[in-house]
Structure 1
Amino acid sequence: MTHLSDERQNKILNYRQDKDRIRSLYSSILIRLTLMRIYKCKNTDLKFKIGKYGKPFLSNDNKIKFNLSHSEDYIFLGISEKLIGVDIEKIRHYDNAIIYNCFHPLEIDYIQKARNKDLAFCIVWTRKEAYFKCIGTGLSKEIKHINTLNPGKSFTIKTNLIDSYAYSICLYESN
């Protein structure tokens, strides 16, 4: 913990459950070790800042973008020279009300037509989270207006499965 900023230490300590504190600590260590390897630098050379909506970034270099997500047994780290957002979620039963509050009509249709609705929900949810994390706003009031099954030519979203988890990565292709 002493290798992390005071802000990050406080964030980790504010989690209620030990498993959440441990996941957050491991995520911090993973990103630091990875960036130290990329930049061939010491931990103390890495300076992080937090964007308006809570997305961390390196304050002393804007070449590398990164994003983290964790869910139970997994930590997902995405690193790119492009804007990036990632999300991973354990596939579980979903609350039907969420789809009407958060999803685009075509995403709702996709879930309703799916054979495995829990899987379809998780796929759309991870795509939605990855998209909004990529643009750096977090989930916003625009959530229902974005169709992550067809996000437009500037965005690429890929989704895969591992064990009982779905994970998505979103990249923004600027012109």
Structure 2
Amino acid sequence: MLLTCSTRPAGERWSAHPDFRWPAAVAVFRLPVAASQSFAPQAAALLQADELRRAHRYHRPADYHRFLLGRAAQRLVLGAYLGLPPAGLHFELGADKKPRLREAPLHYNVSHAGDWVLLAMAGAEVGVDVERLDSQFAFEELLDYSFSPPEKAFIERSPVPHHAFYQLWTRKEAFVKATGRGIDAEFSQVPALVGEHRLADFGPVPGWAVSSFEVAAGYAAAVAHPAPLAGALHFYDLGGAVLGELYAAARR
């Protein structure tokens, strides 16, 4: 199996006009948490009781709003694609422990960090990860366990080692989220350096692609998907106007 890792050009274009037709490619949405807090009452009205209980377990307001708004955005976007009421969608765990949508084979994945929530949608398996760059994080403790010797050398020789660490980490995590393998002892065996890599077996997909992309200053992110979809990545903003339309449609 072939895994191709790459970095998209800086200055990613995030469209304010999402296309909610069934995705023939991969669609990535970004939600700014702080700027979306005015939608919190509408978000809470969309969630099921168990989701609200999970939201209220977060004691810090930032964590509460990140979960609440991100979970509601997940329902809104999936509902828009399927033409179904977002509040009535059902989520369950598949055999690989990945969350799945009961109503249709529309694949999705969610990640959040700091002020951003990312959602990736595709007609095939997909994984996404975002991390806030933390220069104080002791990433050196993870190098021997989670990275190959060439990856460790790449990070240590980088002009900004913690940037390089997060770039490779998000690629690895997006890939294992897409494949459902999880973060375990195999994490160091997941290649993350730019280029093509041969893997023995990571499921039925013959080839994968992982792309790093720019979310905002101070963040690293990556999306993983089957290789044939590599040329069809679309990036969308879930700004106030789009959210307003989605919440209004959900009330009809």
1:19 counterpart (50, 56, 62): 62
Looking at structure 2, the residues matched to 148 and 71 of structure 1 have their Cα atoms a distance apart, in angstroms, of 20
Q: Please state if 1:92 is matched with 2:134.
A: yes
Deviation at 1:47, TM superposition (A): 1.4
Deviation at 1:144, TM superposition (A): 1.3
Deviation at 1:49, TM superposition (A): 0.7
Looking at structure 2, the residues matched to 151 and 71 of structure 1 have their Cα atoms a distance apart, in angstroms, of 28
Counterpart of 1:124 in structure 2 is: 168
1:8 counterpart (40, 44, 51): 51
Counterpart of 2:66, as a letter, is R
1:81 counterpart (113, 123, 129): 123
- CA distance change for structure 1 residues 61 and 9 in 2, over 3 Å: closer, same or farther? same
Deviation per residue, 1:75-96 (Å, 9 max, x gap): 1111111211101111122311
Deviation at 1:7, TM superposition (A): 3.2
Deviation at 1:53, TM superposition (A): 6.3
Where does structure 2 lack aligned partners over 5 or more consecutive residues? 1-43, 199-205, 229-252
Looking at structure 1, the residues matched to 161 and 56 of structure 2 have their Cα atoms a distance apart, in angstroms, of 36
What SS does structure 2 have at the residue aligned with 1:89?
Answer: strand
Looking at structure 1, the residues matched to 94 and 53 of structure 2 have their Cα atoms a distance apart, in angstroms, of 17
Looking at structure 2, the residues matched to 5 and 73 of structure 1 have their Cα atoms a distance apart, in angstroms, of 24
Q: Please state if 1:29 is matched with 2:76.
A: no
Counterpart of 2:221 in structure 1 is: 167
**TM-score scaled by length of structure 2:** 0.63
Looking at structure 2, the residues matched to 44 and 57 of structure 1 have their Cα atoms a distance apart, in angstroms, of 16
Deviation larger for 25-34 or 94-103: 94-103
Counterpart of 2:175, as a letter, is Y
**TM-score scaled by length of structure 1:** 0.88
Looking at structure 2, the residues matched to 139 and 158 of structure 1 have their Cα atoms a distance apart, in angstroms, of 19
- CA distance change for structure 1 residues 54 and 19 in 2, over 3 Å: closer, same or farther? farther
For 1:133-172, list aligned pairs within 5 A.
Answer: 133-149=177-193, 150-152=196-198, 154-161=207-214, 162-172=216-226
Number of aligned residue pairs: give it.
173
Counterpart of 1:166, as a letter, is A
Deviation at 1:170, TM superposition (A): 0.6
- CA distance change for structure 1 residues 21 and 53 in 2, over 3 Å: closer, same or farther? farther
What is the root-mean-square deviation of aligned Cα atoms in Å? Answer: 2.0
Contact 1:82 1:173 in 2 (8 A): no
Looking at structure 1, the residues matched to 152 and 51 of structure 2 have their Cα atoms a distance apart, in angstroms, of 37
Looking at structure 1, the residues matched to 113 and 56 of structure 2 have their Cα atoms a distance apart, in angstroms, of 18
Greater Cα radius of gyration, structure 1 or 2: 2
- CA distance change for structure 1 residues 72 and 81 in 2, over 3 Å: closer, same or farther? same
Counterpart of 1:110 in structure 2 is: 154
Where does structure 1 lack aligned partners over 5 or more consecutive residues? none
Deviation at 1:52, TM superposition (A): 5.4
Looking at structure 2, the residues matched to 151 and 68 of structure 1 have their Cα atoms a distance apart, in angstroms, of 25
Deviation at 1:74, TM superposition (A): 0.8
Looking at structure 1, the residues matched to 87 and 159 of structure 2 have their Cα atoms a distance apart, in angstroms, of 50
Counterpart of 1:118, as a letter, is H
Deviation per residue, 1:22-42 (Å, 9 max, x gap): 101111111111111111111
